[in-house]
Chain A
Amino acid sequence: MQGRNGLPVCVKNMSDNGKEKEQVTLTIDGKEISVDKGTTVLDAATLMGIHIPTFCWHPKLDSIGACRMCLVDVEKFPKPAVACATEAMPGMIVRTDTDEIVKARRGVLEFMLLNHPLDCPTCDKGGECDLQDNVFHYGIDKSRQAFTRRRVIDDQTTDAFDDKRIGPEIIRNMNRCVTCYKCIRFNKEIAGEYDLGAYERGNHTVIDAAPGEQIDNFYSGNVVEICPVGALTNTDWRYKIRNWKAKQTLSLCSHDADGQNIMLWHDQRQLWRATSRRNDDIDDGWICNIARYGYQYINSPDRLKTPLIKKEGKQVPASWDEAISLISKRFKEIKDSKGSVCLAGLIGGNQSVETAYLFNKFFRNKLHTNNLDYRLEYIDLKGSDETEAYNCLYRAPFTIADLEQADVVFVFGSNFIKDHPAINLRLRKAYRKFGTKVYTANPVETKSADISLDEMIYSPDTETAFIAGLIHAIIDNKYYKNIDETKAAEVKTMLAPATLDEAARLCGIEQERIVNLAKVLSEANNPYILAGDYFVASAKRHRTANGMYDLANLLGIKDSNAIILASQANSMGADRVGVRPRLTENLKKTLIDKWGEELPESPGSNTSQILNNSLDEEIDGLFILGANPAMRYPDGPFVNSALDKLDFLVVADLFETATSAKADVVLPLAGWAEQSGAYVNVEGRYQKFEKAQDADKGIKSGIEIIHSIARAMDLSLNLDNAALMHETKDIVDAFEREARDEAKFFEVKQAQIPEHDNYPYRLLVGNDIHHFGYVTEHCPSLMRFTPEPYLEISPNLAEKLGIDEETLVRIESTTGKLVLKARFSEYFEGDVLFIPNNFSATEVTGLVSREGGGWVKIEKLDDK
Chain B
Amino acid sequence: MEQVFLKYIDDPNQHKIDTYIEHGGYQAIQKVFKEYQPTEVIDTVKASGVRGRGGAGFPAGLKWSFVPQNTGKPIYLACNGDESEPGTCKDRVIMENNPHLIIEGIMICCYAINAHHAFIYIRGEFAHPAARVEAAINEAYAKGYLGKNIFGTGFDLDIIVHTGGGAYICGEETSLLSSIEGSRGNARIRPPFPAVEGLYKCPTVINNVETLSSLPSIFNNGVEWYRSHGTEKSPGTKIFSLSGNVNKPGNYEVDLGTPLSYVINDLGGGIQNGHKLKAIIPGGSSTPLLMPDQIDTPLDYEAVAEAGSMLGSGAIIVIDERSCMVWVLMKLINFYAHESCGRCTPCREGTAWLKQLINRIENGDGQPGDIELILDVCDNIMGRTICPLGDAAVMPVRSFIQHFRDEFEYHIEHKKCKVETDYPFV
Contacts and interface: CB of A to CB of B under 8 A. Distances in A.
Given A107-B379, A115-B349, A66 B384 contact: no
A146 interface: yes
Contacts of A111: 345-346, 348-350, 353, 380
B189 A203 contact: no
Interface stretch (A79-87, A121-129, A253-261, A349-357): A79-87
A202 B346 contact: no
B367 A108 contact: no
Nearest to B377: A107
A66 B345 contact: yes
A104 B344 contact: no
B344 A68 contact: yes
B113 interface: no
Nearest to B373: A144
Interface string A326-347: 0000000000000000000000
Contacts of A66: 343-345, 386
A67 B344 contact: yes
Interface string A93-115: 00000000001101110111011
B326 interface: no
A200 B342 CA distance: 9
Contacts of A203: 337, 340, 342, 348-349, 351-352
B383 interface: yes
A48 interface: no
A697 interface: no
A836 interface: no
A108 B346 contact: yes
Contacts of B148: none
Nearest to B369: A144
Contacts of A147: 353, 356
A202 B386 contact: no
B184 interface: yes
Contact of A107 (B189, B339, B380): B380
B159 interface: no
Interface string B327-338: 000000000011
Contacts of A80: 383-384
A519 to B, nearest CB: 20
B209 interface: no
Contacts of B356: 147
A64 B188 contact: yes
A595 to B, nearest CB: 60
B30 interface: no
Interface in A50-85: 63-69, 71, 78-80, 82, 85
Nearest to B385: A68
A163 to B, nearest CB: 21
Contacts of A115: 349
A388 to B, nearest CB: 44
Contact of A65 (B169, B348, B386): B386
B383 A201 contact: no
Contacts of A703: none
Nearest to A64: B189
A415 interface: no
Contacts of A65: 189, 344, 386
Interface string B155-185: 0000000000001010000000000000010
A204 B341 CA distance: 9
A36 B250 CA distance: 56
A202 B191 CA distance: 23
Contact of B345 (A144, A179, A201): A179
Contact of A198 (B342, B346, B373, B379): B342
A125 to B, nearest CB: 18
A566 B353 CA distance: 57
Interface in A795-841: none
Size category of the A interface is: 35 or more
Given A80-B383, A104-B380, A201 B344 contact: no
A69 B384 CA distance: 10
B384 A108 contact: yes
B364 to A, nearest CB: 15
Interface string A122-148: 000000000000000000000010110
Contacts of B343: 64, 66, 179, 181
A205 interface: yes
Nearest to B185: A201
A630 interface: no
A465 B104 CA distance: 57
B384 A202 contact: no
A245 B259 CA distance: 72
A178 interface: yes
A68 to B, nearest CB: 5
A114 B373 CA distance: 14
Nearest to A148: B356
Given A111-B353, A147-B356, A79 B340 contact: no
Contacts of A179: 342-343, 345, 348
A71 B384 CA distance: 8
User: Secondary structure of the A side of the interface?
Assistant: loop
B189 A201 contact: no
Nearest to A110: B380
B231 to A, nearest CB: 25
Contacts of A200: 342
A556 to B, nearest CB: 27
Max chain B C-beta neighbours (<10 A), residue from A67, A68, A80, A115: A68
Contact of B348 (A64, A144, A146, A202): A202
Interface string A195-219: 0011011111100000000000000
Max chain B C-beta neighbours (<10 A), residue from A107, A111, A114, A178: A111
A199 to B, nearest CB: 8
B383 A79 contact: yes
Nearest to A82: B189
B345 A103 contact: no
B345 A202 contact: no
Nearest to A197: B184
Contacts of B380: 103-104, 106-108, 110-111
A498 B192 CA distance: 54
Contacts of A108: 345-346, 380, 384
B379 A202 contact: no
A114 B344 contact: no
Nearest to A198: B184
Contacts of A68: 344-346, 384-386
A286 B340 CA distance: 32
Interface string B59-101: 0000000000000000000000000000000000000000000
A178 B349 CA distance: 10
Contact of B340 (A63, A114, A181, A201): A201
Max chain A C-beta neighbours (<10 A), residue from B167, B340, B346, B351: B346
A110 B356 CA distance: 15
Interface string A24-63: 0000000000000000000000000000000000000001
B50 to A, nearest CB: 25
Nearest to B380: A107
A140 to B, nearest CB: 11
Contact of A104 (B191, B340, B384): B384
B329 to A, nearest CB: 18
Contacts of B353: 111, 114, 147
Contacts of B345: 66-69, 108, 111-112, 178-179
Interface in A343-380: none
A162 to B, nearest CB: 18
Contacts of A114: 349, 353
Nearest to A107: B380
A237 B380 CA distance: 37
Interface of B: 167, 169, 184, 188-189, 191, 337-346, 348-353, 356, 367, 373, 379-381, 383-386
The 3 closest A-B pairs by CB, nearest first: A107-B380, A205-B342, A111-B349
11 contacts: A64-B189, A80-B384, A103-B379, A106-B380, A107-B384, A108-B346, A108-B380, A112-B345, A112-B349, A179-B343, A179-B348
